[in-house]
Structure 1
Amino acid sequence: MDHNQRGVQFLQEGNLEEAAKAFNEAINENPRDPAAYINFGHVLSELGETDKALKFYQRAIEIDENAAAAYYSAGNLYFSNDRFQQAKKMFEEAMKRGMETSDNYFMLGLTLMNLEQGKFALAYLQRSVELNGTDAEARFQYGLCLAQLELLDQAMEQFEKCLEIDPNHSDAYYNLGVSYAFKEQADKAIDMFNKALEIQPDHLLAGHAKQLIEANQ
């Protein structure tokens, strides 16, 4: 097992100190190996050292401009720090370099939704669920995007598929409730809100929506 492999094992075990040592050894042994810099970036990311992690991802890109994993990893860091324009650029760069994974499509779609570009996000979220139909959160976000574009029937279909995968997804129940409310099916809406509240008793949106409908019945 080489230094990178040992480091990945330590990282998966949550042993960040040993992981950092292993990746540092990998860099010293082969300073032109982009994977070692990407992996060290992951350790720094886990430690909350965002700026340092980004420097390691950038170093990997300087060594190999086609290191798609470095762009994707940088995109995730930018996204988690609400730097959505920079995240968008990184996910697009990863895609240009061959990273056509469900995760990359999902993150690009989610980034575009945060940039209020739902029409552009839709195709990426759709592709994400095509590539991985068992990802409940991808189904949910795809449904949200459809709902925001007023494609209600298609949105409800995705919320239901999300719940088939994850029966405890309270937000999927809540959004189904909202969809039924829009369709003026109050009883079904209340039933969905109740299910959301059973799973998450402090779901304020579901509680408020239920009260509103009951007050108007």
Structure 2
Amino acid sequence: MLWDANSHNERGLELVDRGWLFEAMREFNKAIDKKPKCADAYDNLASVYAEKGQPFKALKLYLTAIELDPKNAAAHHNLGCFLANFGNDLAIEQYKSTIKLEDDFPDVHLNYGMALAEVGEYKKAIQLFKTALDIDSSDTMARHELACVYLELGLYHKAIKQLRIVINEDKKNVNALVDLGICYTKTGFYDEANLTFKKALKIDADNFLGNYYLAALHSLQNNKEEAIKHLEIAIKQDKNQIREFIKDDSQFDSIRNSKSFIKLNIF
């Protein structure tokens, strides 16, 4: 029997279904040998490399498939899925390579730290942000990201220290002000939190997170009218996100059963 490219490609798919990845790779390569412009074979071979934990080879093959057949919907979809699953891993590997080549390369420690924080590797991320600050102590972005990791870990006093420095350098940094307000709320400094959120909203009155967390603060203090007022502003920005945030947020327990809260029609 003489097999053409399609036959080898289909055989490769059957082998993938059985979990025989090495054998499947051979079939996809045979399909490419028979038909060098067989986009489907490149696409399928890419998926096998991704499954085997070789994302760089997979990426190259996905891009080849799309270059050969730009209208191949499956190839575009598979590349999208691959990037969603492996994008951060690819970035991390490149940042590692950058540091090996040039340890003081601008911003690499910051971006590497952000990539690690994204996947919950906070200890390593903290070290990278600190290295970035050793290189440039005026890097407010690295300092803010360091504060965000401390906030995520519940190390609120450490976060406050870093955020104060950021805001001292950039008084109109709304995101830093909101994060500082959250830290103050978490540590029970409600007056400072209220003042900080108001500073943020003076710069950006419609800020989603600023209004949400100020509403939470007012709810904690049983200021129902103010809590509802700021929730209404946040809802106008993104009602679906509010729904996700608020359903398990105990900060709103004091107003959750009130008529004014129910009228917001969040759920």
Decide: shared fold, TM above 0.5: yes
Gaps of 5+ in 2: 1-82
Aligned residue number for residue 8 of structure 1: none
Distance 1:116 1:100 in 2: 24
Where does residue 192 of structure 1 map in the other structure? Answer: 263
Q: Which residue of 2 aligns with 1:131?
A: 203
Q: Which residue of 2 aligns with 1:27?
A: 99
Per the alignment, residue 188 of structure 2 pairs with: 116
CA distance in 2, matches of 1:41, 1:33: 14
Which residue of 2 is the match for residue 178 of structure 1? Answer: 255
CA contact (8 A) 1:159 1:175 kept: no
**Matching residue's letter, 2:196:** Y
Note closer, same or farther for the CA distance 1:37–1:191 as it changes in structure 2 (3 Å cut).
closer
| Equivalent residue letter for 1:40 | Y
Residues 145-164 of structure 1 mapped to structure 2, 5 A cutoff: 145-149=217-221, 151-164=223-236
- The alpha carbon displacement at 1:160 in A equals 1.9
Task: Map Cα deviations across residues 15-61 of structure 1 (whole Å, 9 max, x no partner).
Answer: 12221232233334442235110111112212322111111111111
Q: Distance in 2 between matches of 1:99 and 1:51?
A: 28
* 2:151 aligned with 1:79: yes
Query: 1-side partners of 2:261 and 2:90: how far apart?
Result: 52
Task: Establish whether residue 143 from structure 1 lines up as the match of residue 220 from structure 2.
Answer: no
- What secondary structure does 1:178 align onto? coil
Residue 126 of structure 2, aligned match among 29, 34, 54: 54
Q: In 2, Cα distance between the equivalents of 1:99 and 1:21?
A: 35
Q: Which residue of 1 aligns with 2:89?
A: 17
Contact kept, 8 Å, 2:214 with 2:227, in 1: the verdict is yes
Q: Determine helix, strand or coil for the equivalent of 1:137.
A: helix
Offset at 1:107? 0.5
Task: State whether residues 152 and 179 of structure 1, in contact with CA within 8 Å, keep that contact through their aligned partners in structure 2.
Answer: no
Structure 1 residue 103 corresponds to structure 2 residue 175: yes
- How many residue pairs are counted as aligned between the two chains? 178
Assess, with a 3 A threshold, how the Cα gap between structure 1 residues 114 and 25 changes in structure 2: closer, same or farther: same
Counterparts of 2:137 and 2:201, CA distance in 1: 28
8 Å Cα contact 1:75-1:87 kept in structure 2: yes
CA distance in 1, matches of 2:231, 2:123: 37
Larger Rg: 2
Query: How far apart are the structure 1 equivalents of 2:192 and 2:239?
Result: 29
Q: Which has the higher contact order (CA 8 A, sep 6+)?
A: 1
- Equivalent position amino acid for 2:110 in 1: I
Kindly report the root-mean-square deviation, in angstroms, between the aligned alpha carbons of the 2 structures: 3.0
Tell me the amino acid that sits aligned with residue 227 of structure 2. Answer: A
Residue-by-residue CA offset, 1:132-183 (whole Å, 9 max, x unaligned): 34433321211222344565543332122122223343449x95992995xx
The answer for unaligned runs of 5 or more in structure 1 is: 1-11, 182-187, 200-217
**CA–CA distance in 1 between the matches of 2:120 and 2:257?**
41
- Structure 2 SS opposite 1:82: coil
Alignment partners' CA distance in 2, 1:129 and 1:25: 41
**Alignment partners' CA distance in 2, 1:153 and 1:190:** 10
Q: 1:89 to 1:49 in 2, by over 3 A?
A: same
What is the aligned-residue identity percentage?
15
